[in-house]
């Protein structure tokens, strides 16, 4: 349903198609360019293509093929990708210690409250527009 743009401000990594599409629609309605993939392996493939990187990654944790934990480890080991901020969106409890170990920008529990999500997205994407 959603085409993957060559350069997205936000990359949504979510296996649940309904949630993924809803996030894409919400963010597009707010004026962001969004790319979406169903798991961490697809996210790495997208990020390793020859194009600009997104300003922010919204990452689910529990996914098939490559889960969010595995994706984040791989991302942190790649110098080209490590600096892209990650916001975890998950129904799974994540301790402060786990979140610190993953070096997350933020962690938001599902079901998502939209105002905090949009505030976080704006802080990473809109502030960089003039840069």
Per DSSP, the three-state class of 29 is: helix
Rg, C-alpha atoms of the chain: 13
Query: Using one digit for the tens of pLDDT, what is the confidence trace for 76-113?
Result: 999 989 999 999 998 888 777 777 778 898 999 888 88
As a CATH number, domain 10-125 is 3.40.50.2300
- Angle at CA 58, nearest 5°, toward 122 and 47? 105
Give the model's confidence band at 118: pLDDT under 50 very low, under 70 low, under 90 confident, else very high.
Answer: very high
Query: Using one digit for the tens of pLDDT, what is the confidence trace for 27-60?
Result: 999 989 999 999 999 999 999 886 678 999 999 9
Give the model's pLDDT for residue 50.
64
Please state the pTM of the whole predicted model. Answer: 0.87
Domain boundaries defined on the chain: 10-125
Q: What is the mean pLDDT of residues 11-39?
A: 94
């Amino acid at each position: 349903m959603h085409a993957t743009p060559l350069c997205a401000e936000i990359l949504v990594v979510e296996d649940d198609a309904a949630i993924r599409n809803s996030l894409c629609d919400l963010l597009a309605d707010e004026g962001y360019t969004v790319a979406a993939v169903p798991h961490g392996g697809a996210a790495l493939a997208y990020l390793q293509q020859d194009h600009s990187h997104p300003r922010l990654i919204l990452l689910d944790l529990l996914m098939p093929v490559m889960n969010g934990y595995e994706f984040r480890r791989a991302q942190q080991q790649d110098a080209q990708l490590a600096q892209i901020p990650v916001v975890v969106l998950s129904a799974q409890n994540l301790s402060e210690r786990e979140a610190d170990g993953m070096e997350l920008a933020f962690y938001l529990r599902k079901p998502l409250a939209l105002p905090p999500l949009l505030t976080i997205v704006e802080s990473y994407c809109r502030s960089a527009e003039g840069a």
